[in-house]
Amino acid sequence: MDLRHCVIPAAGLGTRFLPATKAVPKELLPVLDRPVIQWAVEEAVAAGATDIVLVLAEGKEAIANHLLPDPPLERLLEERGKRRELEAVRHAGHLANVTVVYQAEPNGLGDAVLCAADVVGERPFMCMLPDDLSVGAKPALTQLWEAHERHGRGPIIALMRVPREDISRYGCADVDLTEGRDHHVRGLVEKPKPADAKSDLAVMGRYVLTPDVFDALRATPPGALGEVQLTDGIARLIGSRDIWGVEFEGRLLDVGTPAGWLQTNLQLASDDGEFSPAVHAAPVREAV
Ligand code: G1P
């Protein structure tokens, strides 16, 4: 199979989730029985990723450790006959090849993605923000890669309609042609004011990008929030190539805020054979 990279920026400080994220990166908070990063990598692998490029900040190495094999732990579990745990540990450590790159300063998502340039090289690649989990029959990244092949192997952005008043939290797409759920993008603005937004189509943290985005990012000045924005880098490609946005099917579940994380856990647990009894009958132990 072809080498296919997925870049996962995970260098953020997790400020929206403090104090939980004071010592533990938000990407390692558990959702049901697995940390967020594993859900993200499993989605990428399902979409055909062979190689994960983790963009980390110093001190967040535990995220990578979760994705690496752990022979001493595997040996111990084997000796103790803990088959189920052994399988789970092996699975997490062998999902994909993992390369770590470091973002020196928190200079924004565009700068984080640029850190992956040397590893990715000259191939199209996937990129996903692990703040949301994609659930549904077909994961969002898979739908994006299919759109990439459908639209001449160009850049693809995941889009979702959001209430107008919420658009300032997202990148916003201005589109000029619609084919089913695919929209041809003629403009992209990061975090516009609702009154200035050209649409209610928000960029949703899943991308297929082409390697020319790296030069575009090198030329991109800091934008919204004083940071180098990925949205601005992609916008620089407009005119030189076609960019499509896909209103993917299925849902994204927030795991980047305490309230979203809690809702996501409850929702996934209710749908899960193993965990649903725990949601409906909390195992409260009371002293008698
Ligand atoms: C990032 C992107 C933005 C996107 C959002 C949700 O913003 O810059 O374009 O709409 O993720 O995926 P952030 O949430 O990091 O501020």
**Residue 72 pLDDT grade (very low, low, confident, very high; cuts 50, 70, 90):** very high
Residue type, 213: V
CA–CA gap between residue 25 and residue 55 (Å, rounded): 13
Could you identify the atom of ligand 1 that is nearest to the CA of residue 202?
A: 10
- For a mutational test of ligand 1's pocket, the pick from 109, 131, 227, i.e. the residue with the most ligand atoms closer than 8 A to its C-beta, is 109
CA 112 / ligand 1 centre spacing (Å): 13
Token pair in block for residue 213: 């985005």
Q: Is residue 277 part of a domain?
A: no
Residue 281 pLDDT: 75
- For a mutational test of ligand 1's pocket, the pick from 15, 199, 203, i.e. the residue with the most ligand atoms closer than 8 A to its C-beta, is 203
Q: Is the CB of 110 within 6 Å of ligand 1?
A: no
Q: Is the CB of 171 within 6 Å of ligand 1?
A: yes
* pLDDT tens figures, 171-225: 999 999 999 999 999 999 999 999 999 999 999 999 999 999 999 999 999 999 9
Q: Is residue 224 part of a domain?
A: yes
Q: Is the CB of 170 within 6 Å of ligand 1?
A: yes
Token pair in block for residue 182: 């695919």
146-152 long-range contacts (CB < 8 A, ≥24 apart) are: 147/182, 147/208, 147/244, 147/246, 148/124, 148/208, 150/182, 151/182, 151/242, 151/244, 152/242
Q: Is residue 191 part of a domain?
A: yes
C-alpha closest to that of 252 among 134, 159, 130: 134
Q: Is the CB of 204 within 6 Å of ligand 1?
A: yes
Segment 53-67 shows an average pLDDT of 96
- Specify the DSSP class assigned to residue 250: S
Segment 34-40 shows an average pLDDT of 98
Query: What CATH number has the domain bearing residue 16?
Result: 3.90.550.10
Asked whether the predicted pLDDT for residue 10 surpasses 60, the reply is: yes
Phi, psi dihedral angles at 86 (to 5 degrees): -60, -45
Asked whether the predicted pLDDT for residue 53 surpasses 70, the reply is: yes
**Residue 1 pLDDT grade (very low, low, confident, very high; cuts 50, 70, 90):** low
- For a mutational test of ligand 1's pocket, the pick from 43, 170, 191, i.e. the residue with the most ligand atoms closer than 8 A to its C-beta, is 170
Q: Is residue 278 part of a domain?
A: no
Task: Please count the structural domains in the chain.
Answer: 1
Give exposure, 224-260, as e/b (b: 16+ Cβ within 10 Å): eeebbbbbbbbbbbbeeeebbbbbbeeebbebbeeeb
Asked whether the predicted pLDDT for residue 240 surpasses 80, the reply is: yes
DSSP collapsed to 3 states, 73-98: HHHHHHHCCCHHHHHHHHHHHCCCEE
Asked whether the predicted pLDDT for residue 63 surpasses 90, the reply is: yes
Q: Is residue 129 part of a domain?
A: yes
* pLDDT tens figures, 103-158: 999 999 999 999 999 999 999 999 999 999 998 889 999 999 999 999 999 999 99
Asked whether the predicted pLDDT for residue 77 surpasses 90, the reply is: yes
**Residue 283 pLDDT grade (very low, low, confident, very high; cuts 50, 70, 90):** low
Residue 280 pLDDT: 79
Segment 25-31 shows an average pLDDT of 97
Could you identify the atom of ligand 1 that is nearest to the CA of residue 131?
A: 12
CA 203 / ligand 1 centre spacing (Å): 7
User: pTM here?
Assistant: 0.95
CA–CA gap between residue 16 and residue 63 (Å, rounded): 18
Domain that holds residue 9: 5-272
Q: Is residue 279 part of a domain?
A: no
Instruction: Supply the mean pLDDT for the chain.
Output: 95
Question: Which residue's CA is the closest to the ligand 1 atom numbered 11?
Answer: 205
**Residue 287 pLDDT grade (very low, low, confident, very high; cuts 50, 70, 90):** confident
Residue 172 pLDDT: 98
Among residues of the chain, what percentage have pLDDT more than 70?
99
Q: Is residue 285 part of a domain?
A: no
Q: Is residue 281 part of a domain?
A: no
